[in-house]
Amino acid sequence: MQNTVTPTHCPYCALQCGMNLTPAADGTVEVGERADFPVNRGALCGKGRTAPQVLASGARLTSPLVRSDGGELVPAGWDEALDRIAGGLARTRAERGADAVGVFGGGGLTNEKAYALGKFARVVLGTSQIDYNGRFCMSSAAAAGTKAFGLDRGLPFPLEDIPRTGCVILVGSNPAETMPPSLRYFTELRENGGTLIVVDPRRTRTAEQADLHLAPRPGTDLALALGMLHLVVAEGRVDERYVEERTAGWEEARAAAMAHWPEYVERITGVSVPELREAVRLFCAPEAAMVLTARGPEQQAKGTDTVGAWINLCLATGRAGRPLSGYGCLTGQGNGQGGREHGQKADQLPGYRRLTDPAARLHVAGVWGVDPDSLPGPGRSAYELLDALGTDVRALLLMGSNPVVSAPRAAHVEERIRSLDFLAVCDVVLSETAALADVVLPVTQWAEETGTTTNLEGRVLLRRRAVTPPDGVRGDLEVLHGLADRLGVEKGFPTEPEEVFEELRRASAGGPADYSGIDYRRLGEGNGVFWPCPAPGSEGPPHPGTPRLFLDRFATGDGRARFAAVAHRPSAEEPDEAYPVLLTTGRVLAQYQSGAQTRRVAELNAAAPGPFVELHPRLAARLGAAEGDPLAVVSRRGRAVAPARITTGIRPDTVFMPFHWPGEGRANTLTNPALDPTSRMPEFKVCAVRVEVAR
């Protein structure tokens, strides 16, 4: 395997760029262009290009660590570490019941790991208390997509359709920094005569490429979408025939939109009536158009309704389930799509089945060889689970997330984690969360192991092992196998990813996310397969996969898409005298998520060395702040300090902080854990703060 070129995929975001890896004799790994992979055609961002540096980083864990009597984390052997974890989880279960043991997963885990982790929680631990960081990511879009279309797949079409449509509205999405190679699709759209509208309170690098940039006040996208729908109706642009033939619920949705006059919407959003009209004109003029959302409108306590309102706009104008038209959500993490399909979510079984559906329980229990009645019911959502640590949930197994940095109201979450009776973390580095654990297991990552991921298009991909892992580390699947064995379940947790995938195929068969017609051989030969891809009957040819969904019918019982009857409502926390400024949060190009991995790469740290507070010159003048001055940002949850970065590219009523760093500048010390009632998504994108120069 050494010194050969292995075609594989990036460890980080949902684009899952193709790349070629070649290990060199000196232990380094060369990243080469993989031009034949259509999604990125060889292009990579700096994070992907430098990803191998994390493999060899001095920060890499190469031995299990256990907490000593003196309270230090000290190296230990694998047997001792696994014994301790099994003992810790079993003790809590014996003393307090199965639901006192929690499991927290991640959307970066491969399909095989996500599947095995969900099975481990339900079958070995018997707990309902499992959820994952995808809840913080795209759960609002998933909930709205399921309501509207009967099925949630981030993009219902491949990225290659984007350049050929007529207009794209990108809502709260900054691909120039979060998925740079995808920007090409939007550039080509404009070269082909199409138009790009960007909706973002900041003039991002993405907004700079747009034909029209709307800069609403954070947390008001719902009103904005309703205002546009109002104009669509008022200007006679409704596709009556499509609404009649392919949708349900229009009358209620129409009535709700009619209550949102453009002038009223202007007052709520700060987007002027002429801008609203122009957006409607650009969206409605061409034959086909798309709306794509990302975390801006979704990470709100009304994220599900907000996405529903954008879907309404698509439905009223006949722009869903037709060629080159549709609504899509740009998922975030490497396996953000697959990670939400195979059972690490609190209410879910593999194949995107519902845990409360008796037929789903019967099918999956059959594959697992257990009694369906032994499967627990739905558990708490991610923030609610973290909030219950130390009280109802006393022991936690965590794999693939760093909530001390990334969870809302992070100081409280950190305090909850510290109050656990027992914490075990599997990670590649000593993340801020792993540093609090009783046992830390060092695991293999990405290029050191094989597994599948499902990218933002719903394309299932094979990520191949390209290098030999360092001595002392093991894969997450080996960890689950070792723990299951110690907890009395000897069978059902294979360590070979392909074996796990074969079982996942059977478990997903017949479910909404049906992978049963996909296997490693097929994935190895091409550029991935789009689900659903059911297994053919004994005679039939292989199913080709489904790049484009809903062209004939939606996945609802009657085949019709559902309008959402939604109305504007304020954010959970609006500015007042004590906290007069809006805080929003997000990402920068050179760091990834909690930074656990990218903060180990010198080149990335040079480009993005630390947190900052972005603010408008007018707000800066009011505060007496100059560029680089330390600013204290204070919310009802806490206080963070970071240098001022002054720019005219942000609304004067809003400040922005990236969330990639721990410590004093941790943005999530400030954020509001108010949850969306349907998706249980926290309101990362808007809360009220006070800003002052920290002297």
Ligand X SMILES: Nc1nc2c(c(=O)[nH]1)N[C@H]1C(S)=C(S)[C@@H](COP(=O)(O)OP(=O)(O)OC[C@H]3O[C@@H](n4cnc5c(=O)[nH]c(N)nc54)[C@H](O)[C@@H]3O)O[C@H]1N2
Residues 126-185 that bind ligand SF4 (CB under 6 A): 179-181
Residue 546 contact among ligand SF4, Mo ion, ligand X, none, beta carbon within 5 to 8 Å by kind: none
332 makes contact with Mo ion (CB under 5 A): yes
* CB-CB contact of 655 with 615 (8 Å): yes
332 makes contact with ligand X (CB under 6 A): yes
> 244 φ, ψ to 5°?
-65, -45
105 makes contact with Mo ion (CB under 5 A): no
Residues 309-328 that bind ligand SF4 (CB under 6 A): none
CA-wise closest residue to 9 among 454, 442, 381, 503: 454
Query: What is the b/e burial string over 186-210, where b = at least 16 CB atoms within 10 angstroms of the residue's CB?
Result: beebeeeebbbbbbbbbbbebbebb
Site for ligand X (CB under 6 A): which residue of 401, 452, 635, 679?
401
Q: In what order do the strands lie in the sheet with 422-427?
A: 73-75, 65-67, 439-442, 422-427, 395-399, 101-105, 130-132
The three-state secondary structure class of 19 is strand
Residue 406 contact among ligand X, Mo ion, ligand SF4, none, beta carbon within 5 to 8 Å by kind: ligand X
Residue in the structure block whose two tokens are 């697959």 = 338
683 makes contact with ligand X (CB under 6 A): no
The smaller minimum CB distance to ligand X, of residues 8 and 546, is found at: 8
The smaller minimum CB distance to ligand SF4, of residues 183 and 641, is found at: 183
Residue 324 contact among Mo ion, ligand X, ligand SF4, none, beta carbon within 5 to 8 Å by kind: none
395-399 and 101-105: which strand pairing?
parallel
The smaller minimum CB distance to ligand SF4, of residues 109 and 279, is found at: 109
Residue 294 contact among ligand X, ligand SF4, Mo ion, none, beta carbon within 5 to 8 Å by kind: ligand X
The smaller minimum CB distance to ligand X, of residues 156 and 595, is found at: 595
The smaller minimum CB distance to Mo ion, of residues 165 and 173, is found at: 173
> 197 φ, ψ to 5°?
-115, 130
Q: Which amino acid is at 232?
A: V
250 makes contact with ligand SF4 (CB under 6 A): no
> 656 φ, ψ to 5°?
-125, 135
571 makes contact with ligand X (CB under 6 A): no
* CB-CB contact of 12 with 48 (8 Å): yes
Site for ligand X (CB under 6 A): which residue of 17, 143, 171, 523?
171
The smaller minimum CB distance to ligand X, of residues 294 and 533, is found at: 294
Residues 1-30 that bind ligand SF4 (CB under 6 A): 10, 12-13, 15-17
Smallest distance, ligand SF4 to C-beta of residue 113, A:
18
48 makes contact with ligand SF4 (CB under 6 A): yes
Q: DSSP of 168-181, one letter per residue?
A: EEEES--HHHHSGG
Rg from Cα positions in the chain? 24
Which segments within 167-261 are labelled E, that is strand?
167-171, 195-199, 212-214, 247-248
Residue 181 contact among ligand X, ligand SF4, Mo ion, none, beta carbon within 5 to 8 Å by kind: ligand SF4
Query: What is the b/e burial string over 46-57, where b = at least 16 CB atoms within 10 angstroms of the residue's CB?
Result: bbbbbbbbbbee
Smallest distance, Mo ion to C-beta of residue 619, A:
28
**How far apart, in whole angstroms, are the C-alpha atoms of residue 662 and residue 435?**
12
Residue 61 contact among Mo ion, ligand X, ligand SF4, none, beta carbon within 5 to 8 Å by kind: none
Site for ligand X (CB under 6 A): which residue of 66, 589, 681, 691?
589
532 makes contact with ligand X (CB under 6 A): no
Site for ligand X (CB under 6 A): which residue of 100, 659, 665, 691?
659
* CB-CB contact of 171 with 221 (8 Å): yes
Count CA atoms within 13 Å of residue 569 on its CB side. Answer: 13
Residues 131-160 that bind Mo ion (CB under 5 A): 137
The three-state secondary structure class of 349 is strand
The smaller minimum CB distance to ligand SF4, of residues 180 and 326, is found at: 180
Smallest distance, ligand SF4 to C-beta of residue 108, A:
11
613-615 and 581-586: which strand pairing?
unpaired
Residue 132 contact among ligand SF4, ligand X, Mo ion, none, beta carbon within 5 to 8 Å by kind: none
269 makes contact with ligand X (CB under 6 A): no
Site for ligand X (CB under 6 A): which residue of 130, 282, 313, 428?
428
Smallest distance, ligand SF4 to C-beta of residue 19, A:
7
Count CA atoms within 13 Å of residue 558 on its CB side. Answer: 9
Contact characters 436-455, ligand X, x per CB under 6 A = -------x-x----------
635 makes contact with ligand X (CB under 6 A): no
The smaller minimum CB distance to ligand X, of residues 365 and 466, is found at: 466
The contacts of residue 397 (CB under 8 Å, 6+ apart) are: 85, 89, 101, 102, 103, 104, 424, 426, 483
**How far apart, in whole angstroms, are the C-alpha atoms of residue 369 and residue 401?**
30
Contact characters 207-236, ligand X, x per CB under 6 A = -----------xx-x---------------
Smallest distance, ligand SF4 to C-beta of residue 588, A:
13
CA-wise closest residue to 375 among 388, 356, 397, 393: 356
Smallest distance, Mo ion to C-beta of residue 600, A:
20
**How far apart, in whole angstroms, are the C-alpha atoms of residue 67 and residue 60?**
18
Question: ∠ at Cα 273 (272, 277), nearest 5°?
Answer: 120
Residue 55 DSSP one-character state: H
Smallest distance, ligand X to C-beta of residue 591, A:
6
Compute how many other C-beta atoms are within 10 angstroms of the C-beta atom of residue 183: 16
Site for ligand X (CB under 6 A): which residue of 294, 324, 367, 691?
294
**How far apart, in whole angstroms, are the C-alpha atoms of residue 84 and residue 375?**
26
Residue in the structure block whose two tokens are 């959970």 = 572
458 makes contact with ligand X (CB under 6 A): no
16 makes contact with ligand X (CB under 6 A): no
Site for ligand X (CB under 6 A): which residue of 156, 163, 328, 400?
400
| 25-33, 355-363, 466-474, 587-595 -> range binding ligand X (CB under 6 A) | 587-595
668 makes contact with ligand SF4 (CB under 6 A): no
**How far apart, in whole angstroms, are the C-alpha atoms of residue 318 and residue 322?**
8
**How far apart, in whole angstroms, are the C-alpha atoms of residue 62 and residue 59?**
9
Site residues for ligand X per CB under 6 A: 13, 106-109, 133, 136-137, 171-174, 177-179, 199-202, 204, 218-219, 221, 294-297, 299, 332-333, 399-402, 405-406, 426-429, 431, 443, 445, 476, 584-587, 589, 591-594, 596-597, 656, 659, 667-668, 671, 684-686
Binding site for ligand SF4 (CB under 6 A): 10, 12-13, 15-17, 40, 44-45, 47-48, 179-181
